Every structure is written in structure tokens, then in C-alpha cells.
Amino acid sequence: MRFIDTSLIYTAVYETICKISFVCDPQLHEAILEAQHRETEDLPREILGMIIQNHNYASEDIIPLCQDTGTTLIFAEIGTDIHFSGKPFSETIQAATADAQHDCPLRASIVLEPIFERNNSKNNCPAVIHYELVPGDKLRLLVAQKGGGAENMSFMKMLSPSASADTIVDFVAEGVIAAGSRPCPPLILGVGIGGNFEEAPLLAKKALFLDLNGHHQDPRYAELEKRIVAKINHAGCGVQGFGGNNTVLSARIITAPCHIASLPVAVNLQCHVHRHEEIII
Ligand code: SF4
């Protein structure tokens, strides 16, 4: 049994939210530089240059990468050999979220009630937390500040189990192309295939934490990832909707077993600030 004081988790989550809100992920920065080099049109190339400049200003002058500072999202993989001491786990995450929002400061972006009052929680709480128990004595936290624009354009469908790989490529590509400039391209795509009505979107969101430059271990799904990127980039929506060949920087797939009558497919769109980090304690 390993004991972890939740004050350690508080500090790690607080520091991570502050860091990812201001400092662009180096791999994403590199991917945007590469997109600028391969861009075929002048205006989107210029806009990619502005995005790169924005990364630099944000980290140098400690300005949020985007005015939409996002919803705090945590995937917590908790080793079953861990015993937590100190404040309760979820209370600790919410405290770190609230304090980071206050101290950075970050825009308060969460309303407590979705339709009528829509009153702002004023501290970015509650963070959205997903829990998973895993073997071992490590705690793995995947942390993101997820922007509303890209989240709003995410989608899922229960496809017919007879749907082909071509149908899935078309479904994903058509949804992303229809979103146009609204999710703030260039985009990262997480695609969840399989599971059920609630699992597929979680797989899609978790896929956003995979290596941007990696591919699925099964070559058939790796091929699907490449075809999705190629088809969308060929359609010409482009950077912030201004055309060119860089609507999408990466598409990653996670699959799961599913019912014989089902083929759920979910697509989570991530915008060009892609604020995320992995913490291992
Ligand atoms: S979707 Fe992303 S880039 Fe667009 S406004 Fe929201 S956080 Fe900013």
C-alpha cells in the first residue's frame, strides 16, 4: 500500500492548470510550425504565424493562450494500491481548480445551472473528473483546459454495425468540415469507436491526450487516422476557416468492444491551443 497525501495532488493540479493556460505544449508548437511550412496559401500561412506569435506572447508576458480559458477536465487513473490521506480527492481537485482560476487569473467560464439563471460559479468549478481504477500504486492524471468552441462542435452517432471503414471516414470528415471555423482550426481530433452511448465520447476525449505524431497500433486503424486527416485537409476549410490545407493537425483513434447491434462513433474536436498535460504521482 502506498500513501499519497492529497496536498501533493493539489499542488500538481494547480501548477499544471497555471502552466498549460500560458505555455503552449512544445509538440503542438512544433506541429503548427510544420503546418506553416507545408501551407499552400498565403492568408492561412500568415494566420499560422500569428498563432505562433500568440504562443510566444502568452508564455513571455504570462497572458492566457486564449480568452476562453476552458473547462478543467481530469481523467484520473488511480492505482488500487494507493491510500489517500488528507482532504478528499475530488475536493482537492476542485480546490486546485478554483485557486488556479483566482491566482492566474483565468476567465471564470462555468455556469452552475444550464438553462435558466446560468449564473457563473465565478471560480471555474466544478472541474469535470472521470475516475478509473487501475492496478498498481501510481496515480496518473490527464489534465486539460478544454475550450467551449471546439467542445460545442464535437459529435457522436450510433452507426449501423455494418458501416464500413469508408462510412466512418466520411462521417468524421463531414462533421468536422461542417463545423467550419467554429472549433478554431487547426484542430486535433479524438475519435472513439466502439463501446456504447456514453463510452464512445469518453474514448474520443481521451484520444486527445495521445501523441499527436503517433498512430494506432493496429495498422488498419492507423490507416483510418491518416485517411481522416487527408480527407478533411483536402476539403479546404483551413486555418480559422480561411482556406488552405491545414484544417487538422492530427487524428487519433481509441477503440473498445461493443454490442453486436452497435457501432458508436464519437468525435471530440480540440482547438489550436490544445491545453493538456499528464501528471504521474
Ligand atoms: S475553441 Fe479554443 S481557440 Fe477557440 S475560443 Fe475556445 S479555447 Fe480559444
Whether 204 is in the pocket of ligand 1, judged by its Cβ within 6 Å, is: no
pLDDT confidence band for 35 (50 / 70 / 90): very high
The pLDDT value recorded for residue 185 is 98
pLDDT confidence band for 196 (50 / 70 / 90): very high
Cα(251)–Cα(271) distance, integer angstroms: 12
Question: Separation of 224 CA from ligand 1 center, angstroms?
Answer: 26
Same domain, 152 and 110: no
Whether 149 is in the pocket of ligand 1, judged by its Cβ within 6 Å, is: yes
The pLDDT value recorded for residue 126 is 98
pLDDT tens column, 104-152? 999 999 999 999 999 999 999 999 999 999 999 999 999 999 999 999 9
Q: Are 131 and 125 in contact (CB under 8 A)?
A: no
Same domain, 19 and 131: yes
Average confidence (pLDDT) over 245-260: 98
Q: Is 38 within the bounds of a domain?
A: no
Ligand 1 nearest-atom number relative to CA 146: 7
The pLDDT value recorded for residue 213 is 95
Read out DSSP for 29-77?
HHHHHHHHHH--SHHHHHHHHHHHHHHHHHHHHT--SSS---EEEEEEE
Ligand 1 nearest-atom number relative to CA 68: 7
Question: Separation of 128 CA from ligand 1 center, angstroms?
Answer: 18
pLDDT confidence band for 164 (50 / 70 / 90): very high
Domain closes at, from 146, 171, 199: 146
Whether 66 is in the pocket of ligand 1, judged by its Cβ within 6 Å, is: yes
CATH code, domain with 239: 3.30.1330
The pLDDT value recorded for residue 117 is 96
Whether 190 is in the pocket of ligand 1, judged by its Cβ within 6 Å, is: no
Domain closes at, from 98, 115, 146: 146
- pTM assigned to the model: 0.96
Whether 237 is in the pocket of ligand 1, judged by its Cβ within 6 Å, is: no
The pLDDT value recorded for residue 111 is 98
Same domain, 210 and 260: yes
The pLDDT value recorded for residue 205 is 98
CATH code, domain with 76: 3.30.360
Residue 80 structural domain: 2-23+65-146
Name the H helices within the chain: 6-22, 26-38, 42-61, 89-103, 148-152, 165-179, 199-207, 219-235
Average confidence (pLDDT) over 157-169: 98
Backbone dihedral region for residue 194 (phi beyond 0: left; psi -120 to 50: alpha; all else: beta): left
Same domain, 230 and 133: no
Q: Which of 47, 271, 274 to mutate to test the pocket of ligand 1 (most atoms within 8 A of CB)?
A: 271
Burial 133-161 (b: 16+ CB within 10 A, else e): eeeeeebbbbbbbbbebbbebbbbbbbee
The pLDDT value recorded for residue 70 is 96
Domain closes at, from 146, 171, 204: 146
Number of domains present in the structure of the chain: 2
Ligand 1 nearest-atom number relative to CA 69: 7
The pLDDT value recorded for residue 139 is 98
The pLDDT value recorded for residue 119 is 97
The pLDDT value recorded for residue 162 is 97
Q: Is 29 within the bounds of a domain?
A: no
